[in-house]
């Protein structure tokens, strides 16, 4: 009897030694449970449950949390000491570019307080949204001297039969998102860049993992599943030759970036604004000078075209014909000849009513393309940006950054801040993936960080992979921010494309970017039939609303975007065989609409045009060629 009593006491004791806290999303569909040993020092874990119809299903099993400084460890030596009341976060804000103009940052926030075995404090702040979860670490004590944050034990644990689409990590984030159901690849490092897409454990629940709100006091992170293919650990940027620092050096108090998990049906993921929701609000006092738009771009068809004044003038003339507000003068403009120099080219564009954007080398990585040293220091930036303002340039494209370390994060932010002082818009190339800066510094129009059409100029790889890749990007890379893919090319660069002309046209609606760079030759656009040509002249690049109507990574996508009273649809066939894409108009109001459909013609280099009356509830079947697609305009 005494033995039984002892067992019962030990069981009751074990129950009460584990402290579990819950936090729910406003609509109660997402539940986060945070657990820690309540009587001694140990590991903190969190798990996520998603309400699928009537019951909660576990979509992220117990996953370890923790962070390490060089002077202190906050990992398996944590003791729970308290928690805040759950409070509502409710902010409305506007985006100048992006998938939606009017956004709402609505979630529930709770702070969990811990101390380590040296009695040093750590807070873990969770926000739970209707479309996901965000959390970050906070050191609340104060220091005047620098501390070094070197690592995290944060690990996302998945069941073994989870489907996943991940990009092998490289500094430029220019890679594919191949499908895997095991997490095992030939990638020896097993390192993966953000964002990372998962379909969880055969449930109809998707999760896109990334991060947001990185400041100059953070470095960017990546994921590693080297130890276990189903456990993805957050890993900080590695030191590089010119920057030996590990992690982050900072004074305290300090907070990490937000770790973000967008969760729900596939449409919830695609339409989410969680990355900008958790990012700092707009820091610019005036923004009426920030104007997204379409851009003519000479590099893709003419690799060294910006050295040639006459070629630059041709693309200015193209912008005039196509009613695009901008032209981009790319690398080597500092040695422009054949009839004029850079200032002549800018003045010619001004005389035609076209605004000029200009390319710069960041001066941190590949230094051969010039100009390569005009943005690297505050003094040089001030001199160059003042000159650009004086001659009438509206934006810069800064290329070839060198990693995700803290100094690079500071460099990006310094460029955005300094450019804003001179009312200059910014495009980052050869750069880290978006992490919410477009809300904080809305002069950031777009970022590359994508294996885009530029690669037709470099290797033959994209030719056979483009269709499936294009049908994957709306669910991965483009979810987290504007994407400078340089879409809509009909002729060939160094290597051919085998996507259909209608597929290429659809990229303009399927992909979102504050600057949309049109890369093809003038004759490729001038020789288009009337309907696709008029579409390219008039389609916007910013949106009031975005909806995913149908899709699956690598196979198909149908996107609907709204601007004012008009809706634009884009559809892609990611397969190498014919496919019927079904447009379900259940999202419309009760009015009658006219649908102007531009789709694949009799072959991949022709179009067919159809005008159809549609109303709410109708379904229209669009027959697509292999690697085909369509665009459509809806009007009441």
Count of alpha carbons within 13 angstroms of residue 89, beta-carbon side: 23
Residue span of the structural domain in which 584 resides: 452-480+491-512+542-636
Strand ordering across the sheet containing 545-552 = 545-552, 556-563, 566-573, 629-635, 592-600, 607-615
| Residue 356 pLDDT > 60 | yes
DSSP labels, 27-94: TS-EEEEEEEESSS-B-EEEEEEEEETTEEEEEEEEEEE-EEESS-EESSSBEEEEEPPPEEEEEEEE
| Residue 11 pLDDT > 80 | no
Q: Is residue 605 in some structural domain?
A: yes
Q: Which two tokens stand for residue 146?
A: 């620098």
3-state SS of 611-633?
EEEEECCCEEEEEECCCCEEEEE
What mean pLDDT comes out for the span 476-495?
97
| Residue 406 pLDDT > 60 | yes
pLDDT, position 10: 38
Question: What CATH number is given to the structural domain containing 604?
Answer: 2.60.40.1180
C-beta of residue 478 within 8 angstroms of C-beta of residue 509:
no
How many other C-beta atoms can be found within 10 angstroms of the C-beta atom of residue 341?
13
3-state SS of 518-563?
ECCCHHHHHCCCHHHHHHHHHCCCCCCEEEEEEEECCCEEEEEEEE
Cβ contacts of 476 within 8 Å, gap of 6 or more: 165, 167, 177, 195, 197, 208, 553
Domain count, the chain: 2
Last residue of a domain, one of 254, 277, 300: 277
| Residue 84 pLDDT > 60 | yes
What is the Cα–Cα distance from 163 to 181, expressed in whole angstroms? 4
pLDDT, position 7: 41
3-state percent breakdown (helix, strand, coil) of the chain, nearest 5? 20, 40, 40
What is the Cα–Cα distance from 606 to 365, expressed in whole angstroms? 42
What is the Cα–Cα distance from 311 to 303, expressed in whole angstroms? 11
| Residue 15 pLDDT > 50 | no
pLDDT, position 431: 98
For the CA atoms of 407, 409, 412, 413, the dihedral, rounded to the nearest 10 degrees, stands at -110
DSSP labels, 420-436: HHTT-EEEE-S-PPP-S
Last residue of a domain, one of 246, 277, 308: 277
How many other C-beta atoms can be found within 10 angstroms of the C-beta atom of residue 421?
13
What is the Cα–Cα distance from 136 to 446, expressed in whole angstroms? 26
What is the Cα–Cα distance from 548 to 565, expressed in whole angstroms? 18
578: which strand partners? Answer: none
Encode pLDDT of 160-193 as tens digits.
889 999 999 999 999 999 999 988 877 778 999 9
pLDDT, position 313: 98
Encode pLDDT of 544-562 as tens digits.
999 999 999 999 999 999 9
Of the pLDDT bands very low, low, confident and very high (cuts 50, 70, 90), residue 285 is: very high
Nearest CA among 423, 439, 57, 117 for reference residue 278: 439
Task: Please identify which residue in the block is written with the tokens 């020789």.
Answer: 527
Q: Is residue 125 in some structural domain?
A: yes
Encode pLDDT of 256-272 as tens digits.
999 999 999 999 999 99
Q: Is residue 446 in some structural domain?
A: no
Encode pLDDT of 57-78 as tens digits.
999 999 999 999 999 999 999 9
Of the pLDDT bands very low, low, confident and very high (cuts 50, 70, 90), residue 38 is: low
pLDDT, position 5: 43
What percent of the chain lies above the pLDDT cut of 70?
97
Q: Is residue 420 in some structural domain?
A: no
Residue 509 CA, chain-centre distance (Å), reads 16
Q: Is residue 118 in some structural domain?
A: yes
| Residue 141 pLDDT > 50 | yes
DSSP labels, 401-413: ---SSHHHHHHHH
What is the Cα–Cα distance from 220 to 273, expressed in whole angstroms? 20
Question: What CATH number is given to the structural domain containing 55?
Answer: 2.70.98.10
pLDDT, position 580: 98
What is the Cα–Cα distance from 370 to 493, expressed in whole angstroms? 22
Least trusted range by pLDDT, from 113-127, 201-215, 388-402 = 201-215
Q: Is residue 101 in some structural domain?
A: yes
393: which strand partners? Answer: 356
Of the pLDDT bands very low, low, confident and very high (cuts 50, 70, 90), residue 14 is: very low
Encode pLDDT of 324-342 as tens digits.
999 999 999 999 999 999 9
| Residue 6 pLDDT > 50 | no
Count of alpha carbons within 13 angstroms of residue 326, beta-carbon side: 28
Question: Any idea what the Cα angle at residue 459 is, between residues 305 and 326, rounded to 5°?
Answer: 35
| Residue 47 pLDDT > 80 | yes
Task: Please identify which residue in the block is written with the tokens 């609000």.
Answer: 281
What mean pLDDT comes out for the span 495-521?
97
- Find out whether the peptide bond into 311 is cis, omega within 30 degrees of 0: no
Last residue of a domain, one of 245, 277, 309: 277
Q: Give the β-pairing of 566-573 and 30-37.
A: unpaired
How many other C-beta atoms can be found within 10 angstroms of the C-beta atom of residue 11?
9
pLDDT, position 82: 94
pLDDT, position 18: 64
pLDDT, position 495: 96
Q: Is residue 436 in some structural domain?
A: no
- In Å, what is the CA distance from 334 to each residue of 307, 314, 340, 399, 419? 8, 18, 11, 15, 20
pLDDT, position 629: 98
Q: Is residue 343 in some structural domain?
A: no
pLDDT, position 53: 84
């Amino acid at each position: 009897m005494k033995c039984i009593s002892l067992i019962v006491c030990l069981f009751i004791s074990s129950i009460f030694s584990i402290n579990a806290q819950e936090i729910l999303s406003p609509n109660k569909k997402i539940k986060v449970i945070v657990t820690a040993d309540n009587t001694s020092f140990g590991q903190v874990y969190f798990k996520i449950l998603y309400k699928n119809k009537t019951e909660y299903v576990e979509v992220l099993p117990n996953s370890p949390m923790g962070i390490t400084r060089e002077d202190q460890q906050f990992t398996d030596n944590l003791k729970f000491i308290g928690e805040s009341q759950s409070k509502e976060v409710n902010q409305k804000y506007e985006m100048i570019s992006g998938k939606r103009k009017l956004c709402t940052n609505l979630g529930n926030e709770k702070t969990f307080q811990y101390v380590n075995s040296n009695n040093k404090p750590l807070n873990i702040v969770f926000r739970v949204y209707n479309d996901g979860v965000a959390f970050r670490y906070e050191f609340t004590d104060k220091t005047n001297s620098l501390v070094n944050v070197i690592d995290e034990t944060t690990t996302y644990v998945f069941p073994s039969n989870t489907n996943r689409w991940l990009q092998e990590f490289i500094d430029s984030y220019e890679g594919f998102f191949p499908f895997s159901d095991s997490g095992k690849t030939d990638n020896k490092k097993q390192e993966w860049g953000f964002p990372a897409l998962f379909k969880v454990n055969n449930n109809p629940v998707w999760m896109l993992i990334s991060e947001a709100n990185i400041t100059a006091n953070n470095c960017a992170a990546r994921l590693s599943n080297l130890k276990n293919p189903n456990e993805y650990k957050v890993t900080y940027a590695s030191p590089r030759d010119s920057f030996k620092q590990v992690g982050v050096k900072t004074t305290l108090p300090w907070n990490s970036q937000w770790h973000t998990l967008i969760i729900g049906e596939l449409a919830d993921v695609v339409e989410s604004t969680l990355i900008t929701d958790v990012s700092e609000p707009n820091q610019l006092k005036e923004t009426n000078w920030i104007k997204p738009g379409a851009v003519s771009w000479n590099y893709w068809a003419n690799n060294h075209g910006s050295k040639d004044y006459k070629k630059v003038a041709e693309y200015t003339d193209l912008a005039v014909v196509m009613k695009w507000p901008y032209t981009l003068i790319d690398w080597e403009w500092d040695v422009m000849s054949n009839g004029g120099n850079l200032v002549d080219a800018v003045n010619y564009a001004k005389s035609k009513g076209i605004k000029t954007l200009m390319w710069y080398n960041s001066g941190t990585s590949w230094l051969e393309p010039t100009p390569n040293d005009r943005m690297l220091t505050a003094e040089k930036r001030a001199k160059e940006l003042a000159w650009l303002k004086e001659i009438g340039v509206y934006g810069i494209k800064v290329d070839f950054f060198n990693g995700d370390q803290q100094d690079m994060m500071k460099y990006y932010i310094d460029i955005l801040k300094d450019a804003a002082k001179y009312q200059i818009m910014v495009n980052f190339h050869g750069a880290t993936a978006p992490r919410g800066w477009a809300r904080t510094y809305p002069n950031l129009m777009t970022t590359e960080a994508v294996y885009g059409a530029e690669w037709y100029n470099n290797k033959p790889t994209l030719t056979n992979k483009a269709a499936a890749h294009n049908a994957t990007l709306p669910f991965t890379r483009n979810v987290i921010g504007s994407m400078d893919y340089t879409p809509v090319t009909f002729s060939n660069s160094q290597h051919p494309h085998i996507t259909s002309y209608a597929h290429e046209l659809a990229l303009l609606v399927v992909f979102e970017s504050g600057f949309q760079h049109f890369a093809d030759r003038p004759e490729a656009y001038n020789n288009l039939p009337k309907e696709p040509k008029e579409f390219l002249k008039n389609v916007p690049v910013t949106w009031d609303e975005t909806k995913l109507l149908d899709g699956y990574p690598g196979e198909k996508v149908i996107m609907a975007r709204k601007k004012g009273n008009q809706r634009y649809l884009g559809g892609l066939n990611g397969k190498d065989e014919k496919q019927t894409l079904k447009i379900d108009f259940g999202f419309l109001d009760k009015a009658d609409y006219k649908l102007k459909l531009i789709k694949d013609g009799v072959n991949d280099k022709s179009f067919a045009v159809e005008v159809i009356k549609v109303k709410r509830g109708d379904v229209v079947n669009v027959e697509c060629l292999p690697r085909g697609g369509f665009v459509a305009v809806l009007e009441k």
